[in-house]
Amino acid sequence: MKRVLVLGATGAMGYAIVHELVGRGIEVRAFARDRGKLDRLFGNLTNVQIVAGDALNMKELMQAAIDCDVIFHSINVPYHEWRKYLLKVMENVLDVAKEHSAKLAMVDNIYAYGRSNNGKVTENAPKNPHTKKGKLRLEQLNLIKNSGVPYVIAHFPDFYGPNAEGTMLGTTLANVIQNKKAMFVGDQKVPREHIYTPDGAKAIVTLAMTEKAYGQEWNIPAYDTITGEEIIELFREITGFNKKVMTVRKSMIQFIGLFNPFMREVVEMYYLTQEPVVLDGSKYEKEIGPLPRTPYKEGLQQTIEWMKQNKASKG
């Protein structure tokens, strides 16, 4: 793997993947729509070529993929645009991969698994999504599997980490570092998974560099499950945060959704805060090696430090 294309490079996992690849001495094309954000995040990195473009524009995407061995697909289509754009972007990426004889490394979530039935989910578990977004994710996975493009598909739980400010924990942290009242989505007593994005990036890059990993799906679990109460206690320990953290319940999201199309689409995924899907990573550990697993305290410390430094550089 000499040169790769990272789509959605300015997103949470895309950012981590770019840094992981650069750390391994691999040339990277970082692709996203926002040129300013690309410059801010990667302008000081060697071995990174910045390419501003839209994955819905075949000409721009085709040009970006020239001479790339692997395409990392980490584009985060906004929820309320999934029905219109999610599969179209996927079709474009697969067409470009075919044209350039490139492999695909797909950043995927847990939606296609559907309900977990309170047990750890393996890659062999039947996929019975009951939500609109879960069904779209399953269609996306089937497009990949039937495309003829060599692929690895990595399933991840919720993200947190540097440049992951739009995630559930990221939105809570934005207020925590300012010592303001914060909000936490879902029951604070329910154990859930949150993966530190640099760990996820290490895992998917390792998969992309392992020939036997292709043609398969891989679960990449977090360090462990953790409750919201435990996370908030870590926030307090790390930062001295002493304000109240309010629980955001489904009824509140439903009300906001009356006026906000994005939040309207969040409602159907609320079940994951009540009956979380917990990933079984034993296949990766048996066939690839130890999973990268940063303890939550260390990961949160690094995330908070990045957010503070990034805020200072912006301001």
Write out the chain's pLDDT in tens, 315 residues: 889 999 999 999 999 999 999 999 999 999 999 999 999 999 999 999 999 999 999 999 999 999 999 999 999 998 889 899 999 999 999 999 999 999 999 999 999 999 877 679 999 999 999 999 999 999 999 999 999 999 999 999 999 999 998 888 998 999 999 999 999 999 999 999 999 999 999 999 999 999 999 999 999 999 999 999 999 999 999 999 999 999 988 888 777 766 666 567 777 788 888 889 999 999 999 999 999 999 999 999 999 999 998 875 554
* pTM for the full predicted model: 0.95
Whether 311 is covered by a domain: the verdict is no
CATH at residue 285 = 3.40.50.720
Whether 140 is covered by a domain: the verdict is yes
CB atoms within 10 A of CB 101: 10
Whether 301 is covered by a domain: the verdict is no
On whether the CB atoms of residues 13 and 197 are closer than 8 A, the answer is yes
Whether 283 is covered by a domain: the verdict is yes
The first and second tokens of residue 302, run together, are 């690094």
Residues near 123 by beta carbon (within 8 Å), at least 6 away in sequence: 155, 216, 217, 218, 219, 280, 283
Closest listed residue to residue 248, CA positions, set 155, 163, 175, 156: 175
Domain hosting residue 69, numbered range: 3-164+195-223+277-294
CA dihedral over 215, 160, 273, 266, signed as positive or negative: negative
d(CA 172, CA 163): 14
For the chain, the domain total comes to 1
Whether 306 is covered by a domain: the verdict is no
Whether 28 is covered by a domain: the verdict is yes
The first and second tokens of residue 243, run together, are 């304000």
Burial 218-243 (b: 16+ CB within 10 A, else e): bbbbbbebeebeebbebbeebbebee
Phi, psi of 216, deg, nearest 5? -140, 160
In DSSP terms, which residues pair with 248 in a beta bridge? 185
Whether 29 is covered by a domain: the verdict is yes
Helices 12-23 + 197-208 axis angle, to 10? 60
d(CA 44, CA 210): 29
Whether 151 is covered by a domain: the verdict is yes
pLDDT reported for residue 134: 94
